Amino acid sequence: MIAVPAMTFAQEQSPQRPESPSAEEMIKRATKALGLTEAQVKEWEAIHEKYHEVAEKECAQAESNRKKMGEALGMHSTKM
């Protein structure tokens, strides 16, 4: 009888995703693993910054689209 509540509790818990490393940490790891020069590190940082900005814009647009869809469907809360 004890196992059933424990199993139910375990199923209700959402799996914890490991936290993604920061851009700084990823570049630091790549620098060490690949032996990047300072010039290459600067290139990696510039590339990361460019695509990070693109990703942020896309996330903002996706959030806006979810909100609009929720409003169109008559939903009060768009968080599902």
Task: Specify the pTM.
Answer: 0.50
Cβ neighbour number for residue 14 with a 10 Å cutoff? 6
* Cα–Cα distance list, 60 to 26, 30, 56, 66, 71 (Å): 24, 29, 6, 10, 17
pLDDT tens digits, residue range 24-68?
898 999 999 999 999 999 999 999 888 888 888 999 999 999 999
From the list 11, 9, 48, 55, the residue with the least C-alpha distance to 30 is 48
What residues does each domain of the chain span?
23-72
Residue 13 has pLDDT above 70, yes or no: no
Question: If residue 22 lies in a helix (H) or strand (E), which one and from where to where?
Answer: none
Query: Tell me, what's the pLDDT at 11?
Result: 54
